[in-house]
Chains A and B, each alone.
Chain A
């Protein structure tokens, strides 16, 4: 069941995030619309799972439910490490697609990264954790800059660093690389791999990029239908660490790419 994932051991892995019968209706009264219909899913500890689906299929909504930002309909059950999710759970961080709007423009890079730690850690430890997080994403030398002085890719790395500084057990990423150019995207994908390997965090990764999903994931969930449910659950057993060229030339990568593509198209 768990031969492939990073940091996998022979022992069965525990469930980090459990979701049962999660339904979401948005809007009020006659104009309301059902977005998710009774979604079931389990994310194992340390697993990197991509959520794929066409635009408007409810991917972001599902992620917001898992992150406690959106309360699902009555009867839905969402839990993180056994604790029912009622608001953003401790140990779970979000990385948003719109990095420019998610950073505080009046704070320097290091102050942005420190936002979630202030008042919770002694000054020294806070400094260390911020410095480590910036080191991990390769922005140690830009700590005193303001977000507007950085490129888009760097700004998204600041957001990633802000998440990492919290030493999270779970990361929810909403199309984090969706608006970046291809080269920046590839380098951030590899950075994410490193982070995933070194922290062992459970990661749910929403994307509409099939190659990205296959390249990064241990497992791919395809959302489909209206209202949406999980229509496919595809294992990705590519060897790690993965490589932008070598991995993408493997026959298994190409096979998975085709399989996922058909799944997304067929999911409607």
Chain B
């Protein structure tokens, strides 16, 4: 009951109205000047085309492909990033020996890797997945590393005096202490995963929403381009919202003790 009321209150009415108003302006502007703007379809045409694409199933198939690659790549990046981040954060020699290389690699924008991935893997899903994993590993790795290094020395002393094993210290002290930082990294990584999946589909892997966008452009169907444009946006919003719901369900990541109140 209370949750439903909270949900209603959380809907940003003003924000929705602005959105509707913008769509209205767009619609009337295109209709009023329809001769000069043949490449800009009115929202009503975009909506109609979206209906067609939904019915034919292509939009859903494209969406599922992009969603799958994004999530799979992001999960792989999460495992790699957290593992490497903990290793580098907890073992000083590893950090000292690798930090310079990592800083250099991290400075290279992941998109730069597109030609190389294409060269190695060709126009394939492997190209797409490689790019997604590479790009979204970085924020996870860096945030995990910093979270692990930022564990307060007092907590390390507590773990030592209670004679916790290395594994217990990692699991019961370091990981929970670093969890907020790791989650931030995962959230950044998810946004990047989607970006790189779309980029790869635009230029590398002929599949998914990115390819749908390119095909619509080549076929001179502007309203279809806008359908893909909005679908990609909605996917981004959906992924972020899903992650937030998921995080809130992990015990210990909600503000401490709010669960019971």
Contacts and interface: CB of A to CB of B under 8 A. Distances in A.
Given A119-B168, A146-B257, A93 B162 contact: yes
A102 B163 contact: no
A25 interface: no
Interface stretch (B67-75, B104-112, B129-137, B152-160): B152-160
A98 B156 CA distance: 13
B161 interface: yes
Interface string A90-132: 1011101010011011101000000110110000000000000
A168 to B, nearest CB: 10
A106 B252 contact: yes
Interface string A30-45: 0000000000000000
A101 B176 CA distance: 14
A148 B252 CA distance: 14
Given A106-B256, A146-B257, A148-B256, A115 B172 contact: yes
A224 interface: no
A108 B176 CA distance: 13
Given A104-B173, A148-B257, A116 B155 contact: no
B164 interface: yes
A155 to B, nearest CB: 13
Contacts of A15: none
| Main SS class of interface, B | helix
A106 B172 CA distance: 10
Nearest to B179: A106
Interface string B125-157: 000000000000000000000000000101101
Interface residues of B, number: 20
Given A93-B162, A116-B162, A145 B157 contact: no
B155 A102 contact: yes
Interface in B168-185: 168, 172-173, 176-177, 179
A23 to B, nearest CB: 21
A102 B154 contact: yes
A69 B155 contact: no
B161 A67 contact: yes
B255 to A, nearest CB: 9
Contacts of A146: 256-257
Contact of A115 (B162, B252, B256): B162
B257 A149 contact: yes
Given A104-B173, A104-B176, A149-B257, A92 B161 contact: yes
Interface in B217-261: 252, 256-257, 260
Given A88-B160, A88-B163, A96-B158, 15 more contacts: A67-B161, A93-B161, A93-B162, A94-B157, A94-B158, A94-B161, A98-B154, A102-B155, A104-B155, A104-B172, A115-B162, A115-B164, A116-B164, A146-B257, A147-B256
Nearest first, the 10 closest Cβ-Cβ pairs linking A and B are A116-B162, A146-B257, A101-B154, A94-B161, A106-B252, A146-B256, A88-B161, A106-B176, A102-B154, A101-B152
